[in-house]
Amino acid sequence: MIGTIRATISTRRLQSTGSWVAAIGCIGIAAYAAIAYAAFPLGALVHPQMKLAFQGHSVAIYTHIFASALALLLVPLQLAAGWRRRHAAWHRRAGRVYLALGVLPGGLSGLYVAQFAFGGDVSTWGFSLLAILWLGTAALAYRSIRHGDVPAHRRWMLLNVALTFAAVTLRLYLGLFFASGVPFELFYPWVSWLCWVPNLLLMAVYLARRPVLR
């Protein structure tokens, strides 16, 4: 009995710590994106070969960056169970903003810019599939809540958030690979998959072990 209680407490502490780390990551990357793309010329902080593509599709790039940043900023708020219970109406409003002004434009523009992603077909397929799944899980989450299926809505939203978090893990992998000395041309195509596939798999495992979400 005592062992079970301790395990439960440890699990809750781990989840709380993970939530805080995820929130800091989301807010940090959203702030970085806002500063990097608002204060500097487009393409100033990316690989030279990516700069030309960015400048040639500036509207799509800016749409993707700022819509995705908005989605990132709303993730910690939407996942906060206490706030969600106390402010259900605001949770719904924020959810509409997340989907309509964050994921929808961010996903559509992301699918477009993926077609000229640096790294060739590997990058294009990686980022394209990310955008399609991001849009798809959002649509299924919206459909579920419109039908009053709250458990299904939460599950689809958690899968969607795992894909939103790709913006954070992408930067983490870029930092790790740059620090390792591996040439950018070699590692970037694989980052287009690494930034989201592990996120999605980990969330799927978590949901499989949690038949009831709170």
What average pLDDT is seen over the chain? 87
pLDDT-based confidence at residue 71 (cuts at 50, 70, 90): very high
C-beta of residue 61 within 8 angstroms of C-beta of residue 107: no
pLDDT-based confidence at residue 113 (cuts at 50, 70, 90): very high
With CA atoms as reference, report the closest residue to 172 among 199, 192, 195: 195
Cα-trace Rg, the chain: 18
State how far the Cα of 66 lies from the Cα of 61, in Å rounded to an integer: 9
What value does the mean pLDDT take over residues 148-168? 95
C-beta of residue 134 within 8 angstroms of C-beta of residue 108: no
Token pair 């959002």 in the structure block, residue: 138
Token pair 């039908």 in the structure block, residue: 147
Q: What is the domain partition of the chain in residue ranges?
A: 2-208
Higher pLDDT, 18 or 142: 142
CA–CA distance from 49 to each of 32, 54, 133, 185 (Å)? 21, 9, 27, 10
Q: Is 50 exceeded by the pLDDT of residue 7? A: no
* DSSP class per residue in 83-105: HHHHTHHHHHHHHHHIIIIIIHH
The pLDDT value recorded for residue 107 is 97
CA–CA distance from 6 to each of 17, 124, 128, 209 (Å)? 16, 46, 43, 19
**Residue 86 corresponds to which amino acid?**
R
Q: Based on DSSP, count helices (H) and strands (E) in the chain, helices before strands.
A: 11, 0
C-beta of residue 142 within 8 angstroms of C-beta of residue 155: no
Give pLDDT tens digits for 19-52.
777 788 888 888 888 888 888 888 777 877 788 8
Q: Is 70 exceeded by the pLDDT of residue 5? A: no
